[in-house]
Structure 1
Amino acid sequence: MERFILFTRIIVRSALPRLRAAVYAALRTLNGSQNVYATGSGQTASKLQQLNLTPRVAVHTNGTWYPVLRTDNSTDYLFILSRDSDSRGHLTTGKRRPLLHYQRRGNTTEIPLHVAANQTVAFAFSNELWSEIETPYLHALRVPSNVLDYNYSTSCGLLLHTSTDHCNDCNFQLSNGTSYYLSLDSTSLTSNLQRNTTHHLDTLVFWLDIPGLKNASGLGYYSSFFSWPPSSAYNVDGAYLTFPNIAQGIKVTVNGHDVEPLDFTNPRVDIGPYITSDSNEVTAMISTLMWNHIRSIYDEIEISEIAPLLSDLLPDRMGNGLIGEVKIIPYVTTQYMI
């Protein structure tokens, strides 16, 4: 162990355990070595920084993120899971696209990221992906706060989708030093979806609060209509449809067209290709757990003529349904050939 300590830097996390005297003495000796450092819980990253030891992946955030780096042949994969931060990624949808907003500082790449609670984002770094994913030679160093999303193709270039809200930092800067300034008018449109069955909802509430649905489980279809464009005074090119966090999953159609799969931890989709002038219909299908229904018939359930055994009381009913605010966010498209 002495030779191992001599040529290795060691960080001991948290306090020394109170074990048997011999083990405790060995740990005290280890902790007293010149290149062994003791830290408290949650302080390992700061100690590594003090020692000028740079990890391959570092996260700076006001929430709790868990990064995992994996290498497969010539590709490095970075997975980031957010537990409690507030609202970008398409891991659950399988959608792939180039990363266009980052900065290079020496040998490091800094990526600004906005992640929803319980959302997982995946990045792939490889020189072999150019043939699979259309990627420009330039990237953005700075993106205005009113940019909702972007798309890129070699035929259409870079398409920025910017909201119609006023922006105080509307400076779009590319890696070749070129800057673009955006000035937009302000408008907003909010739509609460209604369930298109015998139940008509003024607000989105739990099924528990709807007469006759306390014990309901299964599929729920929410439908609503909205007029487009929101105002003749504004020149808009499309809109994003956003939903609150969905526990079990969601499928959306606009005017009968299936939209792309949604990440149900941060459900948002571009509906610009599907909306038309005048009236538009949005239908959202959500699934629920079967527990509320099972709970209502629990006394009738038998397994080999024996009632199911539970050590505790039955869990309460679950708040099924689409809960929260559904928004339609208009955007303006700005094209850059890069």
Structure 2
Amino acid sequence: MLGRHQPAWDFIRDHFDYLSRAMYILQQGASKMDVAFYQKRTTYARPVTGYEPEDLLKAGYTYGYLDPETLQGRDTVVQKGVLAPMKQAYKALIVRGSDVLTVQGADMLAKHARSGLRVVFAGEIPSYLGGHHDPAGHAYVNHTLRALRHLDNVHHVPREDGLSEVMESLGIMPRTRIRASAFTTKWWPIWRETADGHAQYAFIYHDGEENSAGTIEFQSTGRPYRYDAWSGAITPMGIYSRQGSTITIHLTLGPHQAVLFGFHSDEQHAFHATATSAGVLDVRQVTGGLRAIVGSSTSGHSEWIRTSDGVIHNVPAVSVAPFSLDNWTLVVEHWDPPTPLANVSADASRWNSTHHLESLVSWQHIPGLEHVSGRGYYETTFQWPPANSTERYSSGAFLSLGIVIHTMTVSVNGHALAPFDILTHARLDITSYLVAGERNTVRVVVSTTLANRLSVIWDSLRTSGAPPTGLFGSDTKPPGNAEYGLVGPVTVITYRKVDLAEDDVTKQPSA
């Protein structure tokens, strides 16, 4: 449980704020799904499983499960080929050969199919009638389902898996079509839409342990925004492509990272970029046009931006490569067990130690910190602009923090930076806080779990007089030593701003 006995307690508010903002968006309007599976359960002897292949999810399809009772609900009607249009708005209903039928379920399948809903029989047409031993009932259900096969909107495919290809062949596209760079990538989408249709929201979660990249094609005509649930910022997207009712956005997601997008259908699309070279770090929509954030060149040449008017703009890169911050002073606040250990009302026994680090490493590799838990206060300085900079137009900088292990807060010259996504290699714009001609101070505060300290006193721990146990009283082992602290690399990425207007011919960096 979270509480004051954990080093992260004073910083956990950022996480709760993130959850509250994300949950607020995920309660807007109605959840929309692409397809539904018919599913009737007559026994729950084991956990209920659904469609186990991952091909639908990997392609971006969202789906749910409907039993016979739900299929006859008040909102479960078909309009223009869509089931429950005011709710989930399913575009097809899938019935598998292994499904359990009922007379009521067969009637509802027939009713919705004849109303225009696309029905896909995957595998054999099901014939098992749950809880019904009347031969007449079996005959009725079999006749009812087989009579549907002549309908143009009813399809029969030989297999129960590989349904993403079936859906695509029928022209049923997901609202969030995922094209990841690796087949193993798992990006799970959620799509919500307000009742008036003025806003749609997409939540994308990356269920993986490595960084992954790809594109998502969103079925929306609305102007796209990035919703940052960590800071609360809502920012119009500066880079995306649009064709008809499809908006395509390129994404790179860290392990277990989630992102939120909003699409505002009551707004006109503004001038935007559609593609950039690798050295363009960002494109922002500003009054009068766009502002490109251009870093150092990856090719030794100028960078480029293609804008929505079809023009390709060559933009100059900065000559200063990103540079790392080293020579850190680390003050560690040790959190030791209270004395006596059984005093659960006492706070941890705290004391400080100071360490000088030429480069950043985990606490496991710092003498005296191998089994320490607590908080770390890191500080270093750097010259701005860089000593090797001759740039006239080097107008800003990002601070890249590398891997965030637990919690982290950052300040520059005493100015606290806004909360940021800890599940990716955070890159924070620190331009507003830099002081030219001086050494600028970066301060990073991290917290740890108590695992490394608990491992030392594991055999002394007692709960109600008993040693620690695992699930259902099983034996458990002390936690192994975890990576702690700021491990970096922490780098400063210089950039220049280049302003673009829709009718520009020659592009110049802004001063």
Report the TM-score when normalising by structure 2. Answer: 0.57
Separation in structure 2 between the aligned mates of residue 3 and residue 216 of structure 1, nearest angstrom: 63
**Which of 351, 364, 368 is the matching residue for 1:212?**
368
Q: Which residue matches 1:70?
A: 192
RMSD: 3.2
Any idea what SS the aligned residue of 2:418 has?
A: coil
Give the equivalent residue in structure 1 for 2:330: 196
Q: 2 CA distance for matches of 1:79 and 1:90? A: 11
**Mapped partners of 2:257, 2:302: distance in 1:** 27
Deviation at residue 202 of structure 1 after TM alignment: 2.4
Q: Structure 1: how far apart are the matches of 2:238 and 2:499? A: 14
- 1:89 Cα shift? 7.4
Aligned to 1:163: 295
2:281 matched to 1:117? no
Which string of whole-angstrom CA distances, capped at 9 and with x for unpartnered residues, describes residues 287-338 of structure 1?
Answer: 2112222232333333344443342222212121222422111101112346
- Cα deviation for residue 2 of structure 1 reads 8.3
Q: Cα distance, 1:120 vs. partner? A: 0.9
Q: Distance in 1 between matches of 2:323 and 2:421?
A: 21
* C-alpha distance in 1 between matches for 2:450 and 2:108: 60
Of residues 184, 187, 199 in structure 1, which corresponds to 2:317? 184
Residue 169 of structure 1 deviates from its aligned partner by 8.0
Deviation at 1:185, TM superposition (A): 4.7
Choose which of 80, 88, 91 in structure 1 pairs with 2:204: 80
Q: Are residues 1:237 and 2:395 paired?
A: yes
Q: Structure 1 residues 308 and 320 mapped into 2: Cα distance closer, same or farther (>3 Å)?
A: same
Q: Which amino acid aligns with 1:293?
A: R
Counterparts of 2:455 and 2:317, CA distance in 1: 53
Contact 1:288 1:320 in 2 (8 A): yes
Helix, strand or coil at the partner of 1:199: strand
Label 1:218 to 1:40 Cα distance change in 2 as closer, same or farther (>3 A): farther
Q: What are the residue-to-residue correspondences of 1:1-338 with 2, within 5 Å?
A: 1=106, 4=109, 7=114, 8-10=118-120, 12=122, 35-39=155-159, 41=161, 43-62=162-181, 63-73=185-195, 74-84=198-208, 85-86=211-212, 90-127=228-265, 137-154=270-287, 157-167=289-299, 170-193=303-326, 194-197=328-331, 198-230=354-386, 231-235=388-392, 236-266=394-424, 267-276=426-435, 277-310=437-470, 311=474, 312-337=476-501
Q: Please give the alpha-carbon distance, in whole angstroms, between the structure 2 residues aligned to 1:323 and 1:4.
A: 57
Contact 1:164 1:188 in 2 (8 A): yes
User: Which whole-Å CA distance do the structure 2 matches of 1:151 and 1:20 have between them?
Assistant: 58
CA contact (8 A) 1:223 1:281 kept: yes
C-alpha spacing 1:127/1:182, structure 2 compared with 1 (3 Å) = same
Q: What CA deviation, in whole Å up to 9, does each residue of 1:14-57 have, x standing for no partner? A: x88xx99888x999x98xx671224565x332222222222222
Distance 1:2 1:169 in 2: 66
Partners of 2:491 and 2:160 in 1: how far apart? 44
Greater helix percent: which structure?
A: 2
Q: Which runs of 5+ in 1 are unaligned?
A: none
Q: Distance in 1 between matches of 2:289 and 2:308?
A: 16
| Separation in 1, partners of 2:415, 2:159 | 56
- Report the Cα distance in structure 1 between the residues aligned to 2:155 and 2:412, rounded to whole angstroms: 62
Q: Is the 8 A contact 1:207 1:319 kept in 2?
A: yes
Q: Which has the higher contact order (CA 8 A, sep 6+)?
A: 1
1:189 and 1:96 map into 2 onto residues whose CA distance is: 28
In structure 2, distance between residues paired with 1:147 and 1:206: 32
Mean CA deviation greater in 99-108 or 88-97: 88-97
Q: Percent identity?
A: 27
Instruction: Provide the C-alpha distance between the structure 2 equivalents of 1:125 and 1:179, rounded to a whole number of angstroms.
Output: 26
What SS does the aligned partner of 1:299 have? Answer: helix
Contact preservation (8 Å) 1:91, 1:120: no
Partner Cα separation in structure 2 for residue 169 and residue 142 of structure 1: 15
Q: Which moved more, 1:327-336 or 1:64-73?
A: 64-73
Query: Mean alpha-carbon deviation: is it higher for 218-227 or for 88-97?
Result: 88-97
> Equivalents in 1 of 2:166, 2:127: separation in Å?
28
- Distance in 2, Cα, partners of 1:190 & 1:103: 33
Deviation at 1:210, TM superposition (A): 1.4
* 1:171-211 deviation digits (Å, cap 9, x = unpaired): 32322334421132533132244243321122322212212
The list of structure 1 runs, each at least 4 consecutive aligned residues, that deviate by more than 6 angstroms after superposition, is 19-23
Distance 1:296 1:11, change over 3 A: farther
Letter in 2 for 1:297: I
Q: Does structure 2 conserve the Cα–Cα contact (< 8 Å) formed by 1:89 and 1:120?
A: no
2:275 & 2:391 partners in 1: Cα distance?
Answer: 26
Please list every run of 5 or more consecutive structure 2 residues that lacks an aligned counterpart in the other structure.
1-105, 131-137, 214-225, 332-353, 503-511
